[in-house]
Each structure stands twice: as C-alpha cells, then as structure tokens.
Amino acid sequence: MKSVDSTGDFLANCKNVKLSYYASDSENLTYCQALGNSSRDCMDYTNWGANAELVYETSETGLGASNIKFSSGCGISSNNLEYCYGCVGSSNLFGCVLLKKKEYCIFNKQYTKEEYEQMVPKVKAHMDEMPYTDKLGRVYKYGEYFPPEFSPFAANETALMDFTDMDKEQALKFGLVWREPKESEYKATLEVKDIPDHIDEVKDDVLKEIISCEMCKKVFRIIPQELAFCKKHKIPFPRKCHNCRFKDLTHFRNLPKWYKRSCDCKGVKSKQGIYKNNVLHPNHGVDDCQNTFISTYSPERPEIIYCGSCYVAEIA
C-alpha cells in the first residue's frame, strides 16, 4: 500500500523495501519483518523499528536504535552495539547482556574508550581465528548471528511457526532445536460437544472448566473477560484453544515466501479467462502483459494476480 520500489507483503508507505514482510513508513530495508515508524537502512532485522537505522541481523530491537548488529532485545536510544542482548540506553558495547545506560563495555566489563577501541578489534580477530563450529559443521566467524543451537527455545516453541510451514524434519536439517511438548498435567473436565451452541445458554460456571480443544486436544480455560466479550458480541463459545484459534486467524495471510511470477493479464482478460478487463491497458494493449514481479501468491494458486500497472489500470 502506497509503497514504491518495494517487494514483499504487508508493506505500507515504504520506499525501496525489498523482500520484507510487515513494514510501514520505512525505507531502504532488505529481508526485514515487522518494522514500523521510520526504520531505514536495515537488513535481516525482525521486530520493532521506531526510528531505527543501520540495524543488521538483529531482532526485538528499536526505538532510536542505531548501528546495532547481531543482537536481540536492545534499543531505546542505543547505538554501536554488537552481539548484545537486552541492553538499553547504551552505546559502544560488545558481547554484553542486560546493561542499562552503559558505554564501552565488553562482556559486561567496563573499559575506557581507548581500551575499548583497542580491545574490540582483537576480540573480532580472535573470533575469526577460533570460530565456533556448530553441530552441522557451520562456522561462525565475526559477522554471523548466534548459532540457532544456542537458543533456549526450540523452533516449535517460537513465532517461527507462525511465519513458516517448517516441520520437525526441516527444522532439524537446518540445525534448529525441536522439542516435543510435555503432556499437560491437567485433565479435561468439559468436552466441546457438551458446550451449548448459543452463547446465551453458556453459564458462568464454564469458567471453572478445563476444556479439551476440538482441534489439537490440548486443554484450555477461558477467563471472565473472554466470556463477557463473547456474550456481549454474541460470539459462540470457543471450541478451539488459543493457539489453534490464532493459527486459524493467521491462515488467511500469505507466508513470507517469495515467488517470481509473470502477470496473469493476457491482453483483454486474465490468463484463466475468468476475468475480463474493464479497460485496455496502456502498457500492453491487446497483447499479453510481459511484466514479471515478486509475489507471495505461488503460481499454483487459483487467484488472478496482475502486475502493478495492470492492477492500477483496472481499479483506476
């Protein structure tokens, strides 16, 4: 929406944003996701933004973040951080964790500006001389993000599952951790089939029940506010757990997977012959449109996908 020279999905008011997903009011981004409010000149960066610049291979970072690399959970007026976690209001940190309003620290130890400037290049050189090698034999010199096997979370416990269709086999092949969920210690006290169809007939004592999800069979409860919301808006009582409901919700959006496509506009109608154009398109007239572009709609899908020029000609 209102984006120029950009490819990806869910982009709004963006300029020169490439292969990115959920970004707004930003420019010069590549491989970024979920950034907003004036993020610029960033790459391989997920989540947040808010006046962030020069951020690379970093997540959950923003609000005046500048020149942050290989880090997570940093920002809030921070700059020049590398390999940091949870550092805020700070500058010139290397390999630090949870520091606030600090500068010139390496591995959370305080140095003078001069010492810091001498020491950091030595640490980087050491990383190149003795790099970490992960289980799959991948080598991590300076300039790589932390190996996924260091993550305290398994891939299937993270938001990765909301944005990919990755399964266990693929995750393990990629060197990610996969953990089978523990069996719940709670036993269901209410089956979905025993819940009244109409919300008006659902009594407040349902709040005490442990309900078995009709989809994944895991158990869940609901809180008074949820029940009140359903009653107020005449929404049927949920039959699925929160995770399954969230999955249903996200099912409607395309995943951040990029397909090179050619325009489905073939002269005066769509390739499928279903849609007849309202006007003659100035870029190709009665001939097939030759434009190609990147889309999150795979070529196998049934939707008619026009290039920007043909689309604009039709809706103008």
Question: Is 245:211 a contact under the CB 8 Å cutoff?
Answer: no
Angle at Cα 160 formed by Cα 133 and Cα 252, nearest 5°? 155
Of the two residues 12 and 216, which places its CB atom closer to Zn ion in the complex?
Answer: 216
User: Phi first, then psi: what are they for 261, rounded to 5°?
Assistant: -130, 155
The partner residues of 260 in beta bridges, in order of sequence, read: 294
Dmax over CA atoms of the chain, in Å, equals 72
With contacts defined by CB under 5 A, name the span among 7-15, 114-122, 156-164, 273-281 that binds Zn ion.
273-281
Nearest distance, CB of residue 271 and Zn ion, angstroms: 11
Nearest distance, CB of residue 261 and Zn ion, angstroms: 10
Which residues, 6+ apart, have CB-to-CB distance to 132 below 8 Å?
139, 140, 147
CA distance 212 to 128: 52
Of the two residues 88 and 263, which places its CB atom closer to Zn ion in the complex?
Answer: 263
Nearest distance, CB of residue 110 and Zn ion, angstroms: 49
Question: Is 165:255 a contact under the CB 8 Å cutoff?
Answer: yes
Of the two residues 164 and 291, which places its CB atom closer to Zn ion in the complex?
Answer: 291
Residue 265 engages Zn ion in binding (rule: CB under 5 A): yes
CA distance 176 to 151: 9
Question: Is 136:147 a contact under the CB 8 Å cutoff?
Answer: no
Residue 69 engages Zn ion in binding (rule: CB under 5 A): no
The partner residues of 294 in beta bridges, in order of sequence, read: 260
Query: Residues 164 to 223: which contact Zn ion by CB under 5 A?
Result: 213, 215-216
Of the two residues 93 and 265, which places its CB atom closer to Zn ion in the complex?
Answer: 265
Question: Is 286:269 a contact under the CB 8 Å cutoff?
Answer: no
Nearest distance, CB of residue 199 and Zn ion, angstroms: 20
With contacts defined by CB under 5 A, name the span among 20-28, 91-99, 159-167, 259-267 that binds Zn ion.
259-267
Of the two residues 125 and 279, which places its CB atom closer to Zn ion in the complex?
Answer: 279
Residue 289 engages Zn ion in binding (rule: CB under 5 A): yes
Residue 310 engages Zn ion in binding (rule: CB under 5 A): yes
In the chain, the amino acid numbered 255 is L
1 alpha-carbon distance from chain centroid: 19
Of the two residues 129 and 185, which places its CB atom closer to Zn ion in the complex?
Answer: 185
Nearest distance, CB of residue 246 and Zn ion, angstroms: 9
- In angstroms, the Cα distances linking 123 to 82, 111, 116, 118 are 12, 14, 10, 9
CA distance 174 to 162: 17
Residue 34 engages Zn ion in binding (rule: CB under 5 A): no
Nearest distance, CB of residue 202 and Zn ion, angstroms: 19
**For Zn ion, which residue of 241, 261, 295, 305 counts as binding (CB under 5 A)?**
241
Task: Using CB under 5 A, list all residues that contact Zn ion.
Answer: 213, 215-216, 241, 244, 263, 265, 281, 289, 291, 307, 310
